[in-house]
């Protein structure tokens, strides 16, 4: 099956700085495809080249097997990281204005319901909250009934409740058969939403696949955690690798049952025991040598 979007050896240079360094990937229609990595990894630059906002230094972009053209512009929806909304216009008026910009647009009322805009529809668009603003921007990205939707870090700055409300909206877009391309630096967001991931760091793709496949590929253990005060064994006695942190002992367990049996045999208290599966944060640290947060800072 022809991918809805394909990128081949895409590069972008800004003088001596290489922002994107020869990346390739293909996106199946109807999927949620994630570009994951810290700020500066090249995610936004990649998306801007696909959208046509930035000219690539080299490489090929194909939409439904053809170079992007008028058909792509009519069939894509974009939620930018930063969008200036018009002063003095209500949310309703902004929607009506954007609807007139397309040859084909959807009815506004179903879009209002889908993106949960009804409670602030008549407020000025520049005076709504951060979560409300993101839902409005999502509605604007959907107003032309696109086949493919670009969401560039759409939940940055939102509180946890607003983020989860936005995740529910993205799932409903998927259920409607649209392809979603999501850039994010939130690992939990990528794990929750994405069918396929490209993990980027410093302009390179360092791995790609489904979240489950990537975790299975790189980790054959779970972490059994105990308070340090409860743990009196050595790694040799336990027969498993351990990691010591300020307050905890983390056992890299190949078998939870076997690990717990060994702890019981040595009369280790289990009241503080927790089990943690590897996460994409752990994967990013393993692949890059730094955590995502460290990548953000650098």
- Same domain flag for 174 and 33: yes
At residue 290, the pLDDT reads: 63
- Residue given tokens 């064994």 in the structure block: 233
Tokens of 188: 């939990």
How many domains in the chain? 2
The reply to whether 232 falls in a domain is yes
Give yes or no: residues 188 and 272 share one domain. no
Q: Are residues 83 and 188 in the same domain?
A: yes
Task: Tell me, yes or no, whether 81 and 201 share the same domain.
Answer: yes
Q: What is the pTM of this model?
A: 0.84
Residue 285 within a domain: no
Q: Indicate which CATH number applies to the domain containing 116.
A: 3.40.50.300
61, 12: one domain: yes
pLDDT at residue 297, rounded to an integer: 44
296 is a domain residue: no
Specify if 41 maps to a domain. Answer: yes
Give the C-alpha separation, 162 to 138, whole Å: 13
Express each pLDDT in 112-127 by its tens digit: 999 999 999 999 999 9
Q: What is the pLDDT of residue 42?
A: 92
Task: Please check whether residues 200 and 231 belong to one and the same domain.
Answer: no
CATH code for the domain of 249? 3.30.70
**17 within some domain:** yes
Are residues 160 and 247 part of one domain?
A: no
Query: Are residues 100 and 12 located together in one domain of the fold?
Result: yes
DSSP string, the chain: ---SEEEEEEEEEETTEEEEEEEEEEE-TT-EEEEE--TTSSHHHHHHHHHTSS--SEEEEEETTB---HHHHHHEEEE-S--PPPTT-BHHHHHHHHHTTSSS---HHHHHHHTT-GGGTTSBGGGS-HHHHHHHHHHHHHTT--SEEEEESTTTT--HHHHHHHHHHHHHHHHTT-EEEEEES-HHHHHHH-SEEEEEETTEEEEEE-HHHHHHHH---EEEEEEGGG----HHHHTSEEEE-SSEEEEEES-HHHHHHHHHHTT---TT-EEE---HHHHHHHHHSS-HHHHHH-
Query: Residue 11 sits in which domain range?
Result: 5-210
Residues 125 and 33 in one domain: yes
**pLDDT tens string 197-227:** 999 999 999 999 999 999 989 988 899 999 9
Q: Do 51 and 117 fall into the same domain? A: yes
76 and 69 in contact (C-beta within 8 Å)?
no
Whether residue 255 sits in one domain with residue 123: no
Question: In the numeric block, which tokens belong to residue 20?
Answer: 């994107």
**Structural domain includes residue 298:** no
> Average model confidence (pLDDT) for the chain?
90
CB 4 within 8 A of CB 27: yes
Q: Look at residues 210, 243, 267 and tell me which one is the last residue of a structural domain.
A: 210
Give 81's Cβ-side CA count (13 Å radius): 13
Q: Is residue 97 part of a domain?
A: yes
- Reported as a single tens digit per residue, the pLDDT across 27-76 is 999 999 999 888 888 998 999 999 999 999 999 999 999 999 999 999 99
Instruction: Name the domain boundary from 210, 233, 262.
Output: 210
Strand partners, 58: 11
Last residue in a domain, options 210, 231, 249: 210
Based on the domain organization, do 203 and 225 belong to the same domain? Answer: no
pLDDT tens figures, 249-292: 999 998 899 999 999 999 999 999 999 888 888 888 888 776 55
Let me know if residue 57 belongs to a domain.
yes
pLDDT at 92: 95
């Amino acid at each position: 099956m022809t991918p809805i979007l394909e990128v081949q050896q895409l590069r972008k240079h800004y003088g001596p700085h290489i922002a994107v360094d020869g990346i390739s990937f293909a996106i199946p229609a109807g999927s949620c495809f994630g570009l994951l990595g810290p700020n500066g990894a090249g995610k936004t630059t990649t998306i801007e080249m696909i959208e046509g906002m930035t000219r690539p230094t080299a490489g090929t972009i194909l939409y439904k097997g053809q170079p992007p053209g008028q058909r792509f512009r009519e069939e894509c929806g974009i939620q930018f990281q930063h969008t200036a909304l018009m002063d003095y216009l209500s949310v309703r008026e902004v929607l009506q204005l954007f609807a007139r910009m397309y040859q084909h647009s959807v009815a506004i009322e179903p879009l209002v319901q889908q993106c949960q805009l009804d409670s602030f529809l008549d407020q000025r668009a520049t005076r709504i909250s951060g979560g409300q603003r993101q839902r409005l921007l999502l509605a604007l990205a959907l107003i032309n009934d696109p086949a493919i939707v670009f969401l560039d870090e759409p939940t940055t700055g939102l509180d946890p409740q607003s983020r989860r409300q936005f995740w529910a909206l993205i799932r409903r877009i998927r259920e409607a058969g649209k392809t979603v391309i999501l850039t994010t630096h939130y690992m939990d967001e990528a794990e929750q939403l994405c069918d396929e991931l490209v993990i980027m760091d410093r302009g390179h793709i360092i791995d790609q696949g489904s979240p489950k496949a990537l975790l299975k590929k790189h980790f054959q253990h779970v972490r059994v955690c105990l308070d340090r005060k409860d743990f009196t064994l050595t790694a040799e006695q336990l027969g498993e690798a351990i990691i010591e942190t300020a307050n905890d002992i983390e056992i890299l367990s190949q078998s939870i049952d076997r690990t717990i049996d060994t702890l019981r045999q040595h009369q280790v208290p289990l009241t503080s025991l927790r089990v943690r599966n590897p996460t994409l944060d752990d994967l990013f640290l393993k692949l890059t040598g730094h955590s995502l947060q460290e990548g953000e800072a650098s």
